[in-house]
A and B are shown apart, each in its own frame.
Chain A
């Protein structure tokens, strides 16, 4: 995975104890803590997913990294430089496509080139990116003629055309149908592998997180913080229906307390028998668990308290391939 470091376009990203609060909606004097001492570090070319319930500060974290919001405390580093303000080196694909309605698809995609004043030199890339997201036929259409999925693809192309060192993706594929989404996942992975852009992907889709990422960060709300980090030690390209994949999936669902119902529904007969069964259902659901379990349980950091710098270090030590992360403790 980390073999092709030579062609890395990405930079490492370090987030150190970042906190961010907002005025509370009901009380002007109180503050809501959207991010509470969040620490996370991504090696150059790493792809990390963030999952977590609505309102746990995922979008806020991405906005802070993008430089659109400034944190109340904490430090953010990209490579050796501190982050101050937005910059084309950190691309952000928003939760909504937010296409400029007054520009055609083509002009939306080339907006980044215009903004940086490099349209003349890079014009040829516009067609390339339009083909990449499959919208060459819609080059001259205006955004409101596009479906939600098409619009999100344009937004993706618009962010990619700047060749960002770090690409922040806020549920970019959430609006797509299942088939387009899987195709786009492969496209994003292909781009990531070709350029080794550092990517931080917010998603609500566990399958997507497992399929795509090197690590999965689970966040919890009020106050928003990192609960735990799961290393996905599966070989690429990954098989969506391989036993390892499904087992990891079940495990993550269990961590998120969603596993109980799903597994009980699947096993016939024992459905309503006893409520105590919810506690440990995987044993009868997956008899072959023991021999494969060490593969991922070993490399997982479990339940970290609020400032998670120590467990992160421990986890980095286990993987032993995260130079940016190892400097975190020192």
Chain B
């Protein structure tokens, strides 16, 4: 039995090897494409470094130095990854996907440097060079870190509070006729008001600005999540409910095991819309009321005309918000695996 298994395995292995060799050496077009992917980042980083050293002879030293190190790190890690990918197929797949986009980002940095400190096409205090932004990131890292933490706490507490309330109201409005009758008009009238419009009122009503900010963010999240939860629940297919009833399911089963799972795709649309609204409201609330967080930091740096810091905070904000967005996507992918193949994923 053993021998027969080996016999069947050997030819398969050989053919796989052959295919691999054919892929790497056999076809010149394929290997050229692969080399192009691998070289994209090192080439872009080298050019950017050369441009930087060329244009920044008259710049302050620490700024020049940090940015050179930054580009050097990109160049170095691209080189290390190019070597490592020949052993590690997972990394190879990731690089084939990511290399072009990272290279494009480096080219963009290079272009930015050319039009700012290179050709001085843009008015200076408002448009610093990438080197100045990197330097601000490094110089002000403590404060940026604290601001990010404060923003994160505010965002999460507001989002989760709004989410919890919205799921309860949304399911009630979607399921119970009484709740729909009384809740729907309220939702339709109060919901469309932008949450930020409540800020003046909230600041009067609440003793601490942090509380009012949490409340406002929660309100911003509440509307879209409630709306889409309610519509998802009330659009539950009647035949699923019929099946559940003939299987002996009571009301709890119908709501929690049929209506809510069936409404999940719709609920997630609400969650994404709510997250966008929460970002917006967070930044506005921080700028106006709360004296901490990234929104406040941007306003503060702008007050001192330190635009390098403004851009640094924007970079952090971009990374921060997109990370949270990605996390929500990951959660959705887990919860809605069953949709894989049903909808365009």
Contact = CB atoms under 8 A, between A and B. Distances in A.
B333 interface: no
Contacts, number: 77
Interface stretch (A95-103, A126-134, A242-250): A95-103
A94 B242 contact: yes
Interface string A173-204: 00000000000000000000000000000000
Contacts of A91: 246-247
Interface stretch (A70-78, A108-116, A265-273, A277-285): A108-116
A153 interface: no
Contacts of A148: none
A162 interface: yes
B172 to A, nearest CB: 21
A86 B338 CA distance: 28
Given A98-B239, A145-B341, 17 more contacts: A63-B242, A66-B246, A68-B245, A87-B246, A88-B246, A88-B247, A90-B246, A94-B239, A94-B242, A98-B240, A100-B261, A100-B262, A101-B339, A102-B261, A103-B338, A115-B250, A116-B248
A222 B262 CA distance: 36
A272 B342 CA distance: 52
A116 B250 CA distance: 8
27 contacts: A63-B242, A67-B246, A85-B245, A86-B242, A88-B247, A90-B246, A92-B246, A94-B239, A94-B242, A96-B239, A100-B261, A100-B262, A101-B338, A102-B261, A102-B262, A103-B338, A112-B247, A114-B253, A114-B257, A115-B248, A115-B249, A115-B257, A116-B248, A143-B338, A145-B341, A158-B243, A159-B246
B258 interface: yes
A101 B239 contact: no
A123 interface: no
Nearest to B245: A86
A98 B241 CA distance: 10
Contacts of A303: none
A44 B248 CA distance: 21
B280 interface: no
Given A102-B262, A102-B264, A115-B257, A86 B240 contact: no
Nearest to A91: B246
B258 A100 contact: yes
Nearest to A89: B248
Nearest to B336: A102
A114 B248 CA distance: 9
A162 B245 CA distance: 12
A183 to B, nearest CB: 24
B258 A162 contact: no
Interface in B209-263: 239-240, 242-250, 253, 257-258, 261-262
Given A100-B258, A100-B261, A115-B257, A142 B248 contact: no
Interface in A154-174: 158-159, 162
A31 interface: no
A67 B253 CA distance: 18
Contacts of A67: 245-246
Contacts of A321: none
